[in-house]
Amino acid sequence: MLESFLVTSRETLEASLVVGIVLAYLNKTNNQSYRKTVYYGIGFGILASVIAALIFTLFAGGFEGKTEQIFEGMTMLIGAFLLTTMILWMMQQRHIAKEIEGKVEKHLMSAQPLLSHLGIFMLIFIAIIREGVETVIFLNAINYASGINFIGGTLGILAAIVVGYIFFASTRRINLKRLFNVSSILLILFAAGLVAHGIHEFEEAGIVSGIVSPLFDINPILNEKGIVGSFLKGLFGYNGNPSLLEVMAYAAYLGIIFYLYKRIEISMVKVNG
């Protein structure tokens, strides 16, 4: 449940922040006539995301046996990659509001009103469909790894909408940096689990060797199918009897992320003087 909540809340929060920033800027500059354009962008973005989800589901449903294992493994690795790029990008965003407001101002300055509306529409549409498609991939990866929890996913969407609303209704008092930092840590561990699960699927498909399989077996102590074990499996990719390759992939991913994180921190310190 928590992994579904984390993914949907993080993705929805990013989209809701973009929408909120655009609407707030339009109000501040007395351009309320563009509000309908924003709503059209939201509506068409959601519709396109639903269509993408249906296509993905139909496409994925046609695989069986070894091909299915390969597809599931690829979905998990792609999901982990997208999560990683999203997390690293958000780590570098210290002035997200100014960036989006700048884009809106650029569109509003167009001599042609139609182009202004189109520019704002595409800004919202792309923000919605980008997060929507990523969510489709993430949730399918979760489904392959441990199963989707629709309650958790729905609560995540609602929570993100509420946070996005409060952020602007309360003069931006919510500390988004701290919120993103906490969720980023959990999502990094979740992405590491997806990497390990993806490698496991490739092992079962016979594409790669686990080298030593299993490397150890602690299921008698903490069974991955038990209440605690299944929770840790869904959220952090816990496996009670992993292969050596799975452990190496998990550790390598965390090592790479830590290195990239430190590089970003150093570069941000240099930028800020």
In tens, the pLDDT along 209-264 reads 999 989 999 999 998 878 777 777 766 778 889 999 999 999 999 999 989 888 87
Contact between 196 and 45 under an 8 Å Cβ cutoff? The reply is no
Q: Which residue has the tokens 């969510």?
A: 135
167-210: pLDDT as tens digits: 666 545 556 566 667 677 777 888 888 899 889 989 988 999 99
First and final CA of the chain: distance in angstroms? 42
| Residue-range domain boundaries for the chain | 2-271
Statement: the pTM of the whole predicted model exceeds 0.75 = no
**Alpha-carbon distance 8 to 29, whole Å?**
31
